[in-house]
Amino acid sequence: MGPVILNRTIIQRIFGICATPQPKDEGCWTVSGKRVEVDLARAQELSTPFGAIRLEGKKLPVRLLVVRGDGDSFHTFQNQCRHMGRRLDPVPGTRTVQCCSIGKSTYDFTGQVMSGSAKKNIATFETTRNREKVIIQL
Ligand code: FES
């Protein structure tokens, strides 16, 4: 069986418009050196399985995609497809993330490329939960 394809329009794919928002509450995350902290009490997008946010700016060295798994696990990816650099989205109900572009490169939660145009894996970052904080080590 092939990968599950995220439901996106052809226009969204041509222009590389991802489904995952930046957090509504920009103050829900902070960067300190190589450590990123996300406050779950403020990051409502991560309150349900397969919820996700993209983190950009604040002097981050790379764009990040933070995904809640199907249980209480959290996963962080470099948010840059290894084909042409477009952003990724989680595919609900699967343990994969998928490029928003036409090539639909799909990676598992370890960052390994499973299908699509990309030939290389994406970087993932150690992500742990400590009470109401998600901590990402860059
Ligand atoms: S940029 Fe991701 S498949 Fe082309």
CATH of the domain at 129: 2.102.10.10
In a domain? residue 99? yes
111 CB-side CA count, 13 A: 18
In a domain? residue 3? no
Query: Could you give the CA distance from residue 36 to residue 3 in angstroms, rounded to a whole number?
Result: 31
Condensed to tens digits (0 to 9), the pLDDT of residues 62-97 reads 999 999 998 889 999 999 999 999 999 999 999 999
Give the mutation target among 8, 63, 105 for probing the ligand 1 site: most ligand atoms within 8 A of CB.
Answer: 105
How confident is the model at residue 5, as a pLDDT?
87
In a domain? residue 91? yes
- Domain tally for the chain? 1
Nearest one of 86, 107, 110 to 98, comparing CA atoms: 107
Q: Domain limits at 98? A: 10-137
In a domain? residue 1? no
Residues 6+ apart with CB under 8 A from 15: none
Q: In ligand 1, which atom is closest to the CA atom of 16?
A: 1
Q: Chunk the chain into consecutive blocks of 10 residues (it has 138) and report each block's average pLDDT, rounded to whole numbers.
A: 84 94 97 97 95 96 96 94 97 94 96 97 97 97
Does the reported pTM lie above 0.85? Answer: yes
How confident is the model at residue 2, as a pLDDT?
72
Give the mutation target among 63, 78, 83, 122 for probing the ligand 1 site: most ligand atoms within 8 A of CB.
Answer: 83
In a domain? residue 2? no
User: Nearest residue CA, atom 3 of ligand 1?
Assistant: 103
In a domain? residue 23? yes
